[in-house]
Chain A
Amino acid sequence: MLQIKCPYCQELREEDEFSYGGEAHIERPANPEACSDEEWGAYLFFRKNPRGVHHEMWNHAAGCRRYFNVTRNTVTYEILESYPMGEKPAVLAAGPGERN
């Protein structure tokens, strides 16, 4: 069971209050009509899926019901930070010994 801090509620709560929203910081192409099949497929389906530091979205479903971002290690499941939508993560690259 993960313990996740909602940056809006400023509360550390158990994982089953939240629902997972997938990889964060994926930008929808500004002009989908102009995308090639490769660009559109990459946007829809291809994900980083790193072994190590991952930026992802969570929704505080049983709380404020807002989406926010979390930086989590996908091997140790350690949560490194959570931050509101629209902000950039403080923890960026994979740490030593990890592969991205």
Chain B
Amino acid sequence: MSGGSYSGFSLFKNALSYHENWQRAWRSPKPKSDYDVIIIGGGGHGLATAYYLAREHGITNVAVIEKGYLGGGNTGRNTTIIRSNYLWDEAAHLYELALKLWEGLSQELNFNVMFSQRGVLNLGHTLQDMRDIERRVNANRLNGIDGEVIGPAEVQKLVPLLDCSPGNRYPVLGASWQPRGGTARHDAVAWGYARAADALGVDLIQQTEVTGIRRENGRVTGVETNAGFIGARKVGCVVAGNSGVLAAMAGLQLPIESHPLQAMVSEPLRPCLDTVVMSNAVHGYISQSDKGDLVIGAGIDHYTGYGQRGSFHVVEHTMQAICELFPAFSRVRMNRQWGGIVDTCPDACPIISKTPVQGLYFNCGWGTGGFKATPGSGYVFADTVAHDRPHPLAEAFSIDRFYSGALIDEHGAAGVAH
């Protein structure tokens, strides 16, 4: 680490100089003319990919090219929920790899990502919800993922402010409970990966927009940017909502549509909610950040869009649901509301794939729930790029599944749950 690692001692040392002399977390290098690998997109997934390329595969001649600032897209816009309780084996193994990496991430990166395993509840409001929950929890347990089905009394004990009284508008019949799930500080994840990747020699190039992908004889040779051409033997594209735009630059089309997804935070409150509560049926999910604000996520707007904002009736619907579930929150004032552009796939699963262009790879389609997968996504994508073949956990997520029909339908577990 340039300037040393973070520790209790460094905190004490810097306190003596009024915290005015902290080292910079990463360099701001001029782009070289040529790299082994260019990663397009400096969000969590892209930075994690660059980190694991350097750390696991010794490929350090790597640049991450970001058109804005690091973590300024969906990484900084999501509701930070982490869980791995997905139904199908392929998805469950991928998200569980991510969850296992989360558990050691702060130590590994020497950066506190504030990962908090406060548990995640998925509420069931109807008998069919409960059947689906039973099926999913059973599938999770067979895959070695923690989870249990709990009844309304246990839900009420975990979340005293939740209205579990019989006969209310959205009766709580029970929930799935994943104790290892939780939240993390989203910005810190981007910063932690950025700092660790930079320390291993990765160039983080911000404020530089890719405008074209240059190819020769079916092979990628580099990227055009607004700062000129940068050569590369391999290019990995990790740009979420803008994946379709980048694919078009390489003459490709993706089975992806980009939609606005909205979220909001309230004014800071005293601690009142120490788990994550999600409800697919009423399109709302809520947790309380360490700062005290309630973090609330809504559903997607059904139309496609790139405008990073959505329609009011979508957030209105979510607020109605949250107020029904938590009557005590009805007087809480909302501080901020925003939208991010999510890249949704027809089967609500990501695409981690080679492409018909040699040396060009895509990691996209995470849709509404990519944040939780950040470490696992970077890990398997780095492996895929390094070896020019899919990582065993990424094989099922090839773009070919939209031709073969081997879709992995995770709409139930993905739901609105992020």
- Which residues from A are CB-within-8-Å of B248? 99-100
B306-A74 in contact (CB<8A) = yes
Q: Give every chain B residue within 8 A of A22 (Cβ-Cβ).
A: 257
B255 touches A51 (CB 8 A): no
State the majority secondary structure of interface residues on A.
Answer: mixed
Q: Judge if B6 is at the interface, Cβ distance under 8 Å.
A: no
- Asked if A72 contacts B245 (CB within 8 A), the reply is no
Is B253 positioned at the interface, with any CB of A under 8 Å from its CB? Answer: yes
Establish whether residues A47 and B257, one from each chain, have CB atoms under 8 Å apart when the complex forms. Answer: yes
How many inter-chain contacts with C-beta < 8 Å in the A-B complex? Answer: 67
Q: Does residue B312 face the partner (Cβ distance < 8 Å to A)? A: yes
Contact: A75 with B346, CB < 8 Å?
no
Check if B104 is an interface residue, CB within 8 A of chain A. no
Q: How far is the CB of A20 from chain B (nearest CB, A)?
A: 4
Q: State in angstroms the CA–CA spacing of A16 and B244 once bound together.
A: 27
Give the docked Cα–Cα distance between A50 and B246 (Å).
11
List of B residues within 8 angstroms of A72 by Cβ: 303
B258: chain A residues within 8 A (beta carbon): 49, 74
Q: Which residue, B253, B304, B305, B313, has most C-beta atoms of chain A within 10 A?
A: B304
In the assembled complex, the CB of A33 is this many whole angstroms from the nearest CB of chain B, namely: 15
B302 touching A19, Cβ below 8 Å: yes
- A87 located at the interface, meaning its Cβ lies under 8 Å from any Cβ of chain B in the complex: no
The reply on B404 being an interface residue by CB < 8 A is yes
Q: Give the contact-size bracket for chain B.
A: 20 to 34
Determine if A41 and B303 form an interchain contact, defined as CB atoms under 8 angstroms apart: no
> CB distance B402 to A41 under 8 Å?
yes
Cβ contact within 8 Å between A49 and B256: yes
Closest beta carbon of chain A to B246's beta carbon, Å = 10
Known A-B contacts A15-B313, A37-B404, A99-B245; the reply to A47 vs B307 at CB < 8 A is no
Asked whether A1 lies within 8 Å of B312 as measured between CB atoms, the reply is: yes
Decide if A1 touches B402 in the complex (CB within 8 Å). Answer: no
**Alpha-carbon separation in the docked complex, A86 to B305 (Å):** 24
Of A20, A41, A44, the residue contacting B302 (CB under 8 A) is A20
Contacts of B311 in A (CB 8 A): 1-2, 15-16
Instruction: Enumerate chain B residues within 8 angstroms of A38, measured Cβ to Cβ.
Output: 403
Q: What distance in Å separates the Cβ of A31 from its nearest Cβ neighbour in chain B?
A: 18
Proximity bits, B396-418, A CB within 8 Å = 1, else 0: 00000011110000000000000
Contacting B306 at CB < 8 Å: which of A1, A19, A75, A100?
A: A75
Chain B 239-262: CB-based contact to A (< 8 A → 1; otherwise 0): 000101100100001111110000
A76 B402 Cβ-Cβ under 8 A: no
Q: How far is the CB of A49 from chain B (nearest CB, A)?
A: 4
* B254 contacts across to A, CB distance below 8 A: 46, 49
Cβ-defined partner of B303 (8 Å) among A20, A42, A50: A20
Chain A stretch 35-72: residues in CB contact (< 8 A) with chain B? 37-38, 40-42, 44-51, 54, 56, 72
Interface centre among B253, B254, B306, B307 (most CB of A within 10 A): B306
Checking A47, A74, A76 against B255 with a beta-carbon cut-off of 8 angstroms, the contacting residue is A47
Is B304's CB under 8 angstroms from A45's CB?
A: no
The answer to whether B402 and A44 have CB atoms under 8 Å apart is yes
Contact code string B275-293 (vs A, CB < 8 Å = 1, else 0): 0000000000000000000
Q: Is the beta-carbon distance between B313 and A74 smaller than 8 angstroms?
A: no
Interchain CA distance A45-B302 in the complex, whole Å: 16
Contacts of A49 in B (CB 8 A): 244, 254, 256-258, 304
Contact pattern, B 312-328, Cβ under 8 Å of A = 1, otherwise 0: 11000000000000000
